[in-house]
Structure 1
Amino acid sequence: MSGSEEESGRPGIPDRPMALRLDTQLEEIAEKLRELGRAKGRLEGLLDAVLALSREEDLPAVLHRVVTTAMELTGARYGALGVLDESGQELAQFITAGLSTAELEDLAGTEFPRGRGVLGHLIRHPKPLRVENIASHPASVGFPPGHPPMHTLLGVAISVRGTIYGDLYLSERTDGAPFDQDDEAIVLTLAGAAGIAIDNMRLLEQHRESAERFQRLLLPTLPDLHPFTGAATYRPATAPGHLGGDWYDAIWLPDNTCAAVIGDVVGHDLHSAAAMAQTRSMLRALLYDHLTPPSAVLHQLDRTLNALTDLPVTTACLARIEPAHQGWTLHWSTAGHLPPLLIAPGHRARYLQAEPGLPLAVGVEQPRPDHTHPLPAGAIVVFFTDGLIEHPAHSIDDGLAALAELATLHAGLPLQDFVDTLADHHPSDGHDDMAILALRTPEA
């Protein structure tokens, strides 16, 4: 017997066929472990995607994230989400991802798909659709000129409260393989999460719109302030459903003066909005009844609100533009509010810095200072709330300086365009609502 034969027959040493079988089994076990690892990674990716969808704060961001997440989970090169119109028969929106700059240029001028061909088949038959060769599908009508070549397709419907909202399309796995059942299962799960996220976004949008309408109903339409020109604007915060306490008002008083006020109730809820409306209404009554300096009106307002209501802390700036021997005089008092901004013709905008009083609902016995400043013909006085200039990355002084530059640059615009421009290009981050009131003295 040879030495090799003796070794193969020795106890504890497997023969060659047995060793090969063992290697094969180990490789199969290793492959199954790799598959489990891939499946675990996919599930973790899906969980991360669901959490990310729940954190988005606007609908376009949700729709785009659904597409890109589906591409990541399946390894697809191209992705799209078609949103159905009110009829449910055609696409009203088509969000795409994965197209290169060159591919986008090739498709420039091409109308986005309306839901014909294979895409239309999924609209009419909202069941998961996997196609290995799009051109061979009975519903295929081909691609428009300049469209990148696509062969495989995975499509699933997205439903919201039992109604089909749109369809999610994926094409061309980067590994060249067709989409499989695992791809379909994970995209179906993502589509379910997307439907919930879209529904939440729609509800938030409705809540936001209702809150904004309610807020605007509480604010006045400026009356005729002749011989002055007045303009105002209000912008809600970007936060969903945000209710603010910002307000403005301007009225012509019986003693031939124009009164203007800007205010901000602390808080962002219904209580703040209701307190704002109550404060504004009471202030109007006091202005007509007490033709006294602004400081006295604010003092009486503070005492009355303290006695009758549970008013949150409120800042305000109350001003009277009074006739003077030459032109006009601005007579104002502040309750912890930002100073007015003055833009005289031919001059840069500057703030009328002066000693502020305490905010309302802080201390009713403290004295409130009054201030005066002459106003030339054609001057603009701007009153605003802090939502216009506050930004977490910059100081208040930086925000005020940026607003003054912006006001100087656009002071020649018609007054309504002027305040709209300040609101459109505000130096703040938009986290808070903002109100702006501007008055222009007569030219002569």
Structure 2
Amino acid sequence: MSRKRPPDEGDELLARLGSLTAQARERAELQRSRVELALALQRGMLPRDLPVAPGFRLAVQYAPACHGLNVGGDWYDAFTMPDGRIGLSIGDVQGHNIEATAFMGQVRVGLRALASVTGEPGELLARTNDLLLSLGNDLFATCTFMRLDPATGVLESARAGHIPCVWATADGKSGIAEDEGGPPLGVVAGIDYPVTRYRLTKGGVFVLLTDGVVEGPSLSVDEGLDQVVRLAGIAAVAGLAAGSLAAAVIKGAEQVGHEDDAAVLVVGHDGLLTQGAAGSGIGSGIGSGIGAGGERPRIQP
């Protein structure tokens, strides 16, 4: 025998279902608002314009993660320093939420502010690290900071737990930068970050990137970096614009197998060095001077 449900019981069930639906909609709207706020913070904190230097070209590509509720804290930056050299930074904050985005802004602003006090990359990272620790935040960030001297083509680099850069020359050589580096920012106080010097000569490129470009479930970091090395080598030999190389590298991020922030910053040298650089005696670096003796593309201090 079938049992008929009282009319008021059905009405109560519909009311409860409507209430649950409304709550779910409200939570979804709240989360969407948080994602939109984080994306707005990301856009507002990243530079709108890049520095211009004779003979050099800078190009960036940035793809923020917006899959579900993932909003990361990757950033890039490029600015003219008080002495006329160009500061370049790229990094990745732990986490994928609005807190990571806010912390990203603290790191980027801290680097810019302290660059007016010291432009030496190792000291700059050390001071930024101590500043972040003093704020008492539980997050940390990986970062690479470079200082480019347009007069000589010399790049000074310090790395805080970040993946290495990629280089390529117009004569067909390419590889992964071999610098020592130190721990991420915001982990341990009193850290020294070693500085490695490179020289970028005509036709050469340097590629700074975040791990969302080269690492994921479908691609190991070594495979991803090798892919960027190949792209950079082709671009340098073919004389492609820095913007074309940046676009090709960010396209490769689609192969990593997950949704994550991805940032690429390319430095290309398409002009002649000044006469002062020709007689600087710094030594061989990235460009026509490397490779003959199997040397690494680095300049000793």
- TM-score (structure 1 length as normaliser): 0.51
SS of 1:289's partner is coil
Aligned equivalents of 2:158, 2:34: Cα separation in 1: 36
Offset, 1:226: 1.7
Could you list the per-position Cα deviations for residues 65-88 of structure 1 after superposition, in whole angstroms to 9, with x for gaps in the alignment? Answer: xxxxxxxxxxxxxxxxxxxxxxxx
User: Which residue number corresponds to residue 232 of structure 1?
Assistant: 60
Offset, 1:418: 2.3
SS of 2:116's partner is helix
Equivalence map 1:89-108=2 (5 Å) = none
Equivalence map 1:17-32=2 (5 Å) = none
User: Which residue number corresponds to residue 259 of structure 1?
Assistant: 87
Aligned equivalents of 1:310, 1:262: Cα separation in 2: 20
Offset, 1:205: 7.4
Worse overlay, 336-345 or 202-211: 202-211
Are 1:362 and 2:200 counterparts?
no
Are 1:313 and 2:140 counterparts?
yes
Unaligned runs of 5+ in 1: 1-160, 162-192
Aligned equivalents of 1:285, 1:204: Cα separation in 2: 33
Are 1:344 and 2:169 counterparts?
yes
Matching residue's letter, 1:252: T
Equivalenced residues, count: 248
User: Which residue number corresponds to residue 118 of structure 2?
Assistant: 290
Q: Cα distance 1:304–1:213, how it changes in 2: closer, same or farther (>3 A)?
A: closer
Aligned equivalents of 1:281, 1:377: Cα separation in 2: 32
The equivalent position to 1:419 in structure 2, one of 225, 246, 256, is 246
Offset, 1:415: 2.0
- CA root-mean-square deviation: 2.8
Aligned equivalents of 2:224, 2:141: Cα separation in 1: 21
Unaligned runs of 5+ in 2: 1-17, 273-301
Aligned equivalents of 1:295, 1:391: Cα separation in 2: 29
User: Which residue number corresponds to residue 101 of structure 2?
Assistant: 273
User: Which residue number corresponds to residue 141 of structure 1?
Assistant: none
Matching residue's letter, 2:149: E
Kept in 1: contact 2:209–2:264 (CA 8 A): yes
Percent pairwise identity: 31
User: Which is higher, the Rg of structure 1 or of structure 2?
Assistant: 1
Kept in 2: contact 1:225–1:251 (CA 8 A): no
Kept in 1: contact 2:38–2:101 (CA 8 A): no
Offset, 1:399: 1.4
The equivalent position to 1:217 in structure 2, one of 22, 32, 44, is 44
Aligned equivalents of 1:200, 1:309: Cα separation in 2: 30
User: Which residue number corresponds to residue 284 of structure 2?
Assistant: none
Offset, 1:203: 9.1
Equivalence map 1:178-189=2 (5 Å) = none
Aligned equivalents of 2:93, 2:154: Cα separation in 1: 28
Offset, 1:209: 5.5
Aligned equivalents of 1:362, 1:280: Cα separation in 2: 17
Kept in 2: contact 1:234–1:435 (CA 8 A): yes
Equivalence map 1:168-183=2 (5 Å) = none
Aligned equivalents of 1:434, 1:440: Cα separation in 2: 20
Aligned equivalents of 1:235, 1:352: Cα separation in 2: 24
Q: Cα distance 1:209–1:374, how it changes in 2: closer, same or farther (>3 A)?
A: same
Aligned equivalents of 1:406, 1:229: Cα separation in 2: 17
